[in-house]
Structure 1
Amino acid sequence: MRYLRYAILAALAIVMVTVAIANRGPITLRLLPEELTGLFGFSWQITLPVFVVLLIAVMFGVVLGFVWEWIREHKYRRDAVVERRSRVELERAIGAAGQKQKPGDDVLALLEGK
């Protein structure tokens, strides 16, 4: 199983390096269209290689997906905490009830009940 994981990671690395080599050309990213720069009085822009923009977009998507799932699964984590607390409380109650009786009392109680 470990070798399969290494093979998949190696194939992914080869694909990413190939995409990076094929997309080395510069690209300019602007915050606002050129028509609006005069209206607002500022223009932020950055020039990066295309593969960097692609990698940043993929990383942003992965992080956004993780955050989305973490928020979506909040109710399940909350329910698990509530159930864990109630389980611990019940275990304490059972332990306290078990300590009050002496060993062997339950057998005598069954025999006397008949």
Structure 2
Amino acid sequence: MKTYLLSVYQPDGPTPPPEVLGPIMEGLAALNRELHDTGAFVFTAGLCPPDTATVIRAKDGDVLLTDGPFTEGKEHIGGFTVIQAPDLDAALRWGERMAAITTLPVEVRPFAS
């Protein structure tokens, strides 16, 4: 089994209201249960907003800490799930289901061996 990262990209801005977010979270909980049941689940986590990030840059022996995300953008990684799948096609099917539940873009990327 190969390991894959499923990253969920969400738009910058406020958290959706409960009537929108509630069904999404219920769908993700069901997907996570299925991932567990099939043995594909490794780890999942949501992330705090990008304004809580600190970027560390090392150059010429100095270290610079800056607040905020690495780049300016209109979206950011809001959460991720690490899965195991027999191949990319299987990982993509999980990613497609996650994208359908969240209605957000999901990037599927294999871990380097």
TM-score by length of 2: 0.28
Instruction: Indicate the structure with greater strand content.
Output: 2
Which gives a bigger RCO, structure 1 or 2 (Cα 8 Å, sep 6+)?
2
Report the structure number with the largest CA radius of gyration: 1
Instruction: Indicate the structure with greater helix content.
Output: 1
TM-score by length of 1: 0.27
